Amino acid sequence: MKQIAGISIVALATILLGCQNIEKEQTRHLVLIAGEASHQTGEHEHRAGVLLMERCLSGLPGLEVSMYFDGWPEDDAVFDTADAVHLFMDGGGGHPIIQEDRLALIQRHIDRGMSLGAMHYAVEVPKDDGGEQFMDWIGGHYETYYSVNPFWTPDFSNLPNHPILRGVEPFSVRDEWYFSIRFREDQVGVTPLLVDTPSDEVRDGPYVWPHGPYDHIVENKGKSEIVSWAVERKDGGRGYGFTGGHFHENWGDENFRKFLFNSLVWLTGLDVPENGVRCIVTEEDLMENLDE
């Protein structure tokens, strides 16, 4: 057998082919889906938020980013090549993912290891229509009358050691941070990422809707709450929930946005950069693409 510098041709071919495979495997496809416009300008800015995510992530090596607007892609085929899908849209009974046969569609892709993330209202599905799936796919969901949605300003000063926190410094941002999320039983497999203890005033309400207060929320005064989390599923896919995102201006906070960009990279299975995803977002940037 011919030898090149002591390596057989067969061995060399194996190494080269191996490299090609690694390169191919390292290109990941992230699908960002923005819901329809729903709130006043500056709130639930799904489209502007997704455009910002795409701008900040599209240059990362090995990452291919696609965007879809107004609720849901028309062609189911976009999911065929998706390594991760991220939902930023209004949820509840009108959640695009529970319309038509989309839960079954997503289940098929979850079964091949596709990752799924959901942000703000998109973490809310009815408990008997998508609740079970969200529990399995991303670890939990917002459940009306069990979860709450007050505006408050947590202090994320105690950050865990997780790739999503790379380069993220402690931060504090006022948002409609939902909590008392309905997690899997005993929170099995759920890794808390952002945690803080709401004040007694926050628990006493009023919440945005329904106003509350609820006994089980008030009784838990002093207890910490998880407002963002991650799961790694047995099928190899990953899941992620982030309950903030009401105000578009919060993308102006460097750590808030780095946390979100990191989470999207992590969802795809790519390595989060050592110091996290850096992307400048100016005051002017925050005024772009807003809903009327």
Q: Using CA atoms, how far apart are residues 191 and 174, in angstroms rounded to an integer?
A: 23
At closest approach, how far in Å is the CB of 121 from Zn ion? 6
Helix axis angle for 46-57 and 254-268, nearest 10°, is 70
What are the CA-CA distances from residue 208 to residues 59, 216, 285 (Å)?
38, 17, 28
Beta carbon nearer to Zn ion, 124 or 176: 176
Q: Which is nearer to Zn ion, 237 or 244 (CB)?
A: 244
Minimum CB–partner distance for residue 213 and Zn ion (Å): 19
Closer residue to Zn ion, CB minimum distance, 18 or 206: 206
Stretch that binds Zn ion, among 172-180, 227-235, 248-256, 273-281 (CB under 5 A): 172-180
The first and second tokens of residue 28, run together, are: 């990941």
Residue number of the CB closest to Zn ion reads: 246
Among 45, 124, 175, 176, binds Zn ion (CB under 5 A): 176
> How buried is residue 170: exposed, middle or buried, by Cβ count under 10 Å (0-12/13-18/19+)?
exposed
In this chain, which stretch among 11-19, 110-118, 127-135, 239-247 interacts with Zn ion, using CB under 5 A?
239-247
Q: Name the one range near Zn ion by CB under 5 A: 12-20, 27-35, 90-98, 245-253.
A: 245-253
- The least CB distance from residue 144 to Zn ion, in Å, is 14
Alpha-carbon distance of 225 to 243, in angstroms, equals 11
Nearer to Zn ion, 134 or 178 (CB): 178
Interacting residues with Zn ion between 14 and 33 (CB under 5 A): none
246 touching Zn ion, by CB under 5 A:
yes
Strand, coil or helix: what is 69?
Answer: coil
What is the DSSP code (8-state) at residue 124? B
- Rounded alpha-carbon distances, angstroms, from residue 169 to 8, 199, 289: 50, 22, 28
Beta strands in the chain (DSSP E): 3-4, 7-8, 28-34, 63-68, 84-88, 115-119, 140-141, 182-183, 190-196, 225-232, 238-242
| Residue 121 vs 214, nearer CB to Zn ion | 121
Closest approach of Cβ 92 to Zn ion, in Å? 11
Point out which span in 175-183, 209-217, 230-238, 262-270 binds Zn ion (CB under 5 A). 175-183
Choice between 139 and 150, CB closer to Zn ion: 150
Q: Can you tell me the distance from the alpha carbon of 39 to that of 178, in angstroms, rounded to the nearest whole number? A: 17
Specify the 3-state DSSP secondary structure of 49: helix
Which among 23-31, 125-133, 135-143, 243-251 is the span making contact with Zn ion, rule CB under 5 A?
243-251
Q: How many residues contact Zn ion, by CB under 5 A?
A: 2
CB 200 within 8 A of CB 221: yes
- Spell out, one character per residue from 120 to 159, where the chain touches Zn ion: x when CB under 5 A holds, - when not: ----------------------------------------
Binding site for Zn ion (CB under 5 A): 176, 246
